[in-house]
Structure 1
Amino acid sequence: MNKKRQQLIDTALDLFYLQGIHSVGINEVLKVSGVAKRTLYSHFDSKEALIHATLEQRHANFMHWLELTLSDASSEQQLVSDLFDGLNRWFNGEASELGDFRGCFFINTSAEFSDVDSDIVKYCSFHKSEVKRLIQSKLTDDNPQLLNAICIMKEGAIITAHMTRKGDEVCQQSKDALRALCT
């Protein structure tokens, strides 16, 4: 990938995740990245195209992190522990590949767009389905109820940790609740 293009994506992702999509303008991305406006528009025809590229980058980063986090799970109990221990590390700033915890970039982004049929909201939904697919691939039994419970608890834990800063507590509560379903 072109170095300047990647620099724009990385800068925009950092700014969008920290401040929100709509509160960050193209000029701020240009100023922080040090890239010329002409270069930006040679890679992205609009802010929406840049947003989409940041979503793709975050998706790749998160899926890689999640795959590594769940790589040793050999049972449903282990999957639950590994997932929520991994989330807790993220909440506490110990997952450097995901950066400082500011909630879910996909939830935050989709909340800024009222058109649920927009490409941006659809990509956010795609991310969530891919996360669910990965978790499902790690389950040893085909148990749709457990899969749904894990995914709903994961989403709830991310939102609760972001709003309360009680990631340790919410992750432990999630593990306790889900372990009861794993028997």
Structure 2
Amino acid sequence: MVKKSETSAKSLKREEMVKYAFDTFYKNGFHATGVDTVMEGTGISKRTLYKHFGSKEGLILATIEYYKIFMRELITNYINQEKKPIEKVLRIFDFLIERVEAGYSNGCFVMNAKTEYVNKASDIETSCDNYTAGLQNLLETVIKDANLPNAKERVIQIMILFEGAIIRSKVTKNADTVRIAKDAARILCQHK
């Protein structure tokens, strides 16, 4: 019985570290955030941090995984509130508009990680690519339900608009560009 509660406590501490690191990395960036900052914020020792994650890159991978899980659920639930396939696809832009307007204007956590670690940490890059592929697969399934031709190409075009809107909203700190990207995506979805 003691082992189960110890395991549970360790799991909670690990989760606390991941959430704190996620918030800190999102706010300050990956290279600008040192392990010492995470240790201070969570009250853990360097030894404990390395025991759980092995390295700073291991901690970053854990935060990316955390982001992938909760964001996948948020986006899927959000777009599935719509029944019409084309409107479902376009809802991803509405999701982004709401996020930006709620103050999440530091961009996409995964895109930020990919940018900071391009050609530096293949595990981080792969994890980021897997997130993007998952989002792309979700949109592709919805586009196929709309019976639009060239589904793969259309999804890539929509992804370009979506990712561009994320980057632009990070610069402008508002959702105007996201609305423009949504209008362009609507045009893409109307062409047979």
Q: Could you tell me which amino acid in structure 2 is paired with residue 57 of structure 1? A: Y
Extract unaligned runs of 5+ from structure 2: 1-7
Q: Could you tell me which amino acid in structure 2 is paired with residue 111 of structure 1? A: T
Secondary structure of residue in 1 paired with 2:117: coil
Q: Could you tell me which amino acid in structure 1 is paired with residue 163 of structure 2? A: E
Instruction: Note the C-alpha offset of 1:116.
Output: 6.2
Instruction: Note the C-alpha offset of 1:151.
Output: 1.0
Change (3 A) 1:81 1:113: closer
- Structure 1: distance between partners of 2:124 and 2:65: 10
- Structure 1: distance between partners of 2:159 and 2:118: 24
User: Are 2:153 and 1:149 equivalent residues in the alignment?
Assistant: no
Task: Report the equivalent of 1:7.
Answer: 16
Task: Report the equivalent of 2:27.
Answer: 18
Secondary structure of residue in 2 paired with 1:23: coil
User: Are 2:106 and 1:102 equivalent residues in the alignment?
Assistant: yes
Change (3 A) 1:114 1:151: closer
TM-score by length of 1: 0.89
Instruction: Note the C-alpha offset of 1:145.
Output: 2.6
Task: Report the equivalent of 1:118.
Answer: 122
Deviation per residue, 1:29-68 (Å, 9 max, x gap): 0101122333222212111111110010011111111101
TM-score by length of 2: 0.85
- Structure 2: distance between partners of 1:110 and 1:70: 25
- Structure 1: distance between partners of 2:125 and 2:105: 21
Change (3 A) 1:116 1:144: farther
Residue identity over aligned pairs, in percent, reads 31
Q: Could you tell me which amino acid in structure 1 is paired with residue 183 of structure 2? A: D
Q: Could you tell me which amino acid in structure 1 is paired with residue 129 of structure 2? A: S
Secondary structure of residue in 2 paired with 1:101: coil
RMSD, aligned α-carbons: 1.8
Detail structure 1 runs of 4+ shifted over 6 Å in the superposition.
none
Rg comparison, structure with higher value? 2
Alignment counterpart, residue 76 of structure 2, candidates 57, 63, 67 = 67
- Structure 2: distance between partners of 1:9 and 1:146: 35
CA contact (8 A) 2:166 2:178 kept: no
Instruction: Note the C-alpha offset of 1:134.
Output: 1.1
Q: Could you tell me which amino acid in structure 2 is paired with residue 22 of structure 1? A: H
